[in-house]
Chain A
């Protein structure tokens, strides 16, 4: 575990991608072979069943460190990470151990089903054998939430470099179905498991945001335009009589969308579709907040099926008759896709994402202005001769989003951040005016530069009016323009509405608190999106 703990420290103490990749390559070249697959599983978000719940860990750590629970909570608020807080508050270890990472993971898995006393004895003994950095790792192994700034892509690149293998192949292999205890590192890199696995999806082809003028893309004849839909990007895989629905987060979401299960009977084996899962009512795409009612539910009732029916707007065809056709030009893939969709018996549920006809960039610019009328976020531009890339590649696909909604608000509460910002007031709550009162409408954590954060932090420290635990009420003085992607009714919020993806667009130092927007402004906007 020491070697893995070193890797984590190396990854955390550099902000340069090349250094991180070098550290990963070094690790995968030298680490214990059985540890490696567990590390890949961890970095790709494969979570084992949590053997001990957080509340127990917390109470044991509090007990062992001899501090009152409220002080543990204060420490946790300051550190921002439970595993780390526990590692830091515990008394120093009295023993040492050189057990391997995979041995720890295996032992933790065996704790499932044991009594609390047995679990406690094991955990306390582990804490007493590990130094602070290793304790942190150990606690992370229990919770399974390992986020240490290694993106999927970075891991894939490191593995590709280490094994001298094509990165697309690696991406395939690690995205498929495998268990770290059942596969060797070499077999995983080889991808021996993916051919026999019916479910594996392809890496999604992603687009960059268009930052130039569309005119700079050249002739309109080379481009296809579609609406950019605001739902869940999904991949539907039909192989050997089985149907799988993958979300972009590489999660299998098949059970969540029974409306799409007819495709199991209607698609040929060896067919893979890329598209958007949307809520569609009477042929109209609904706003994201409607679809949201259907997400992450274990069971779905009739009312939900009725209120938020789901459809699939198909963008692309990746596999046809078991053949990977991603290298065919898009225009050919689209033609093949049209044939497949036309053969479907069930109409109007899985449909082609419509292509927008346009003859000049001016026309398209004009059409784009109406994106919100159909609950779209803007326009996607795809080069007609483009292949279906793995991941993000600049040049062939562009998302040309419409500008977000904005609202001017005033800062009224601040709280210290967690993670990298644990010692600064970085989490803000913003309000709009409602008559004489201020009413909160958004919380936002991002959008300011480090320098601005320090400025706001200093303001909060000097202008804190009241304390509620970690929250400070501040003089309503600083005005921020908040950008957001959507607005929805909400019973949970005092304002009666909630903003989607709110973030700080800019600090309006030029504006006074009297000049902010009103709740009525937002209500009007809400009504306009629902009609």
Chain B
């Protein structure tokens, strides 16, 4: 009998009686990471990595029932051995390893294989069944090493500075923002939007070594911002506030910026293909390293990616889930009421 089932509430482990990243309320939600498409409000209890706790409290409220684990420590739930392994996606992101009667299954949530300097580095876990994302599961997505991208960002910032423009980087408040801060803080002063500052406070309290940044407040002089780098979440990128800056130049940091169409769609002044997801070679390497007999492909280019895996001799199947819209983490208007 398989260790996981794909139900209309989410990924279910029947033997253990818990769900992994459910999208409807359940008794116990084992949580891979804190992005809104992976963790919903209303579960009776949450089990996640130590560093995911501050995110859940920040985003879902202070009164949650949360159990946490460090990486590589095993607990047993109804006879199912459960442990967390770093997924390298954002701070606290975990692959969930389940073991029951010798059968091993790993649900990876979202992951990236390149070490980003702030999230614990991805660790491949051998298993029989592997659940993988496929956000960038096309061979057109091959990331440059992050050092090169940060070099490009620095050049762009210095060019903006020469032209009297304010550099505004657009990045998810959880993950990409901390990655930028960690890698750019030595370069110049960083100013962050409230939603990012709040998360950072939680991380610093939890012991994450995050460089100091300045929270953007109405009192802050706009000329100050022009001297450094401003980081805002996507929802702010087209808002009014940006227009109040001195000649803002916006740079979107996202894997989608790999393609010209993605850059133009976001109507940004610059696009940097900096992603917290594995690229095409990354996905393939990670999957091969698990030596899994069966791979379930969740959100992303599911059909294409699973077809390719089958062609290269890895049994794979696409699964419909509700993951894959990280942008929902940001307060954007929901799209359903109108329809």
The chain A residues found within 8 Å of chain B, CB to CB, are: 12-15, 65, 67-68, 70-71, 74-75, 78-81, 84-85, 88-89, 92, 136, 417-424, 454-455, 458-459, 462, 467, 477-478, 509
The 7 closest A-B pairs by CB, nearest first: A422-B261, A420-B264, A458-B335, A88-B140, A455-B335, A74-B304, A75-B140
Residue contact B138 to A75, C-beta cutoff 8 Å: yes
B27 within 8 Å of A by Cβ?
A: no
B336 within 8 Å of A by Cβ?
A: yes
Within 8 A of A (CB), among B240-280: 256, 258-265, 267-271
Q: Which A residues are CB-close (under 8 A) to B260?
A: 12, 81, 84, 136
CA distance A459 to B335 in the complex (A): 8
Residue contact A454 to B335, C-beta cutoff 8 Å: yes
A15 and B140 contact, Cβ closer than 8 Å, known pairs A79-B261, A422-B261, A422-B262: no
Residue contact B259 to A13, C-beta cutoff 8 Å: no
Residue contact B265 to A420, C-beta cutoff 8 Å: yes
Residue contact A424 to B335, C-beta cutoff 8 Å: no
CA distance A455 to B334 in the complex (A): 9
CA distance A455 to B333 in the complex (A): 10
Q: Which B residues are CB-close (under 8 A) to A68?
A: 308, 311
Pick the contact of B140: A85, A455, A459 (CB < 8 A).
A85
Q: Which B residues are CB-close (under 8 A) to A70?
A: 307
CA distance A74 to B258 in the complex (A): 16
Residue contact A88 to B263, C-beta cutoff 8 Å: no
Q: List 12 A-B contacts (CB under 8 A).
A: A67-B139, A68-B308, A71-B308, A75-B140, A80-B261, A81-B260, A88-B139, A88-B258, A420-B261, A421-B265, A423-B261, A477-B339
Interface centre among B261, B267, B307, B311 (most CB of A within 10 A): B261
Residue contact A423 to B335, C-beta cutoff 8 Å: no
B142 within 8 Å of A by Cβ?
A: yes
Residue contact B138 to A13, C-beta cutoff 8 Å: no
A84 and B263 contact, Cβ closer than 8 Å, known pairs A74-B304, A75-B140: no
Given contacts A78-B140, A459-B335, 20 further A-B contacts (CB under 8 A): A12-B264, A13-B263, A68-B308, A84-B259, A85-B140, A88-B139, A88-B140, A88-B258, A89-B139, A92-B142, A420-B261, A421-B261, A422-B265, A423-B256, A423-B261, A423-B262, A455-B339, A458-B335, A459-B339, A477-B339
B1 within 8 Å of A by Cβ?
A: no
Residue contact A12 to B139, C-beta cutoff 8 Å: no
Residue contact A478 to B339, C-beta cutoff 8 Å: yes
Q: Which B residues are CB-close (under 8 A) to A71?
A: 138-139, 304, 308
CA distance A65 to B140 in the complex (A): 10
Query: Nearest A residue to B238 by beta-carbon distance?
Result: A450
> How many Å from the CB of A133 to the closest CB on chain B?
10
In the complex, per-residue mask of B318-339: 1 if CB is within 8 Å of any chain A CB, else 0: 0000000000000000011011
CA distance A422 to B258 in the complex (A): 12
Residue contact A65 to B139, C-beta cutoff 8 Å: yes
A424 and B265 contact, Cβ closer than 8 Å, known pairs A71-B304, A75-B140, A88-B258: yes
> How many Å from the CB of A403 to the closest CB on chain B?
27
